[in-house]
Amino acid sequence: MTTDTSRPLVDSAWLKNALGRADLVVLDVRTPPEGGFVAGSAHSDYAKAGWRATVNGLPGFLPEIAALETLIGGLGIGNDDHVVIVASGLNAPDMGNATRVYWTFKVLGHHRVSVLDGGFAAWKDAGGDLAEAPATRPAKTFKAAPRPELRATLPEVQAAVAAGGVPLVDSRSADQFAGQAKSPQARAAGTLPGAVNIENGAFYSGADQRFVSGASAKALAVQAGVGDGPITFCNTGHLATVAWFALSELAGVPGVRLYDGSMVEWSSDPSRPLKNGEAKNG
């Protein structure tokens, strides 16, 4: 069969036809996994396996490239493999497991990667083949070709906030955006000055087990006034990958970057300004 690796999103019907292909690796990133596995899939616990790193006491950062190469190669994934990532599919935050790992592969320069729409829930509902345990694959060598343009660092976000004009997309809940609630991991409530709010749940429906269409994702961006080159963020660079995936990969918005440090890093320094935060911050 002809391999279509340009599709960031594949459904259960596509995966049923592709199972057993020599170059396909189904990667389950549920944490914890329940109810079995897609037949032949490998498992890597998103929360425990090393997909995100703590830096200077703050969580959620992209790990060192060498550590990711070791992690991915140890799962039996090489540079020529097409990786299909499986989350539980129950809601948008859950799909963040898949979109964060997808973004990580993209940052490493690996383009043969897709997300299973609806995740494991959709696979079960579609009657897909199941296994009681994950597959074990022989280790391979995986070498990154990093694409730093997909990531926004703290200095870049500081410059964007200072200059204005760069679309900043807060994908957290409306009450966190408004400064009425905050993550316990963040020092203070509020958001980035100049940011707009598109909740991550606008991009994925757990009830329907699917992402919105590219056209719908684009419409959400236009409605919020988001143009080219946006930076998506949340608290720890997890939820924001749902927005990054929908805007960059489904809607085709140019130049979308993820700020993996997000509000936990930004708010860690009281001198950084906050919108909708404490009065002294404006």
Render pLDDT for 181-226 as a digit per residue (tens, 0 to 9).
999 999 999 999 999 999 999 999 999 999 999 999 999 999 999 9
Task: Show which of 99, 127, 146 is a domain's final residue.
Answer: 146
> Alpha carbon 66 to chain centroid distance?
20
Which tokens hold the place of 128? Answer: 């897909």
Is the residue at 252 inside a domain? yes
- Beta-bridge partner residues of 232: 169, 258
Give the global pTM. Answer: 0.96
Low-confidence ranges of the chain (pLDDT < 70): 1-6, 278-282
Are residue 110 and residue 223 in the same domain, yes or no? no
Task: Show which of 146, 177, 199 is a domain's final residue.
Answer: 146
Cβ 167 vs Cβ 230: under 8 Å: yes
Number of domains, the chain: 2
Are residue 120 and residue 206 in the same domain, yes or no? no
Angle at 247 between CA 157 and CA 64, to 5 degrees: 50
Q: How many C-beta atoms surround the C-beta of residue 215 within 10 A? A: 11
Q: What is the pLDDT of residue 276?
A: 86
Question: Closest Cα to residue 212, out of 226, 225, 198?
Answer: 198
Structural domain harbouring 125: 9-146
Cβ 203 vs Cβ 241: under 8 Å: no
120, 121, 199, 239, 268 from 209: Cα distances, Å: 10, 8, 17, 17, 36
Are residue 88 and residue 174 in the same domain, yes or no? no
Q: How far apart are CA 274 and CA 276, in angstroms?
A: 6
Task: Show which of 113, 130, 146 is a domain's final residue.
Answer: 146
Q: What is the pLDDT of residue 115?
A: 98
Are residue 169 and residue 268 in the same domain, yes or no? yes
Cβ 134 vs Cβ 26: under 8 Å: no
Are residue 159 and residue 234 in the same domain, yes or no? yes
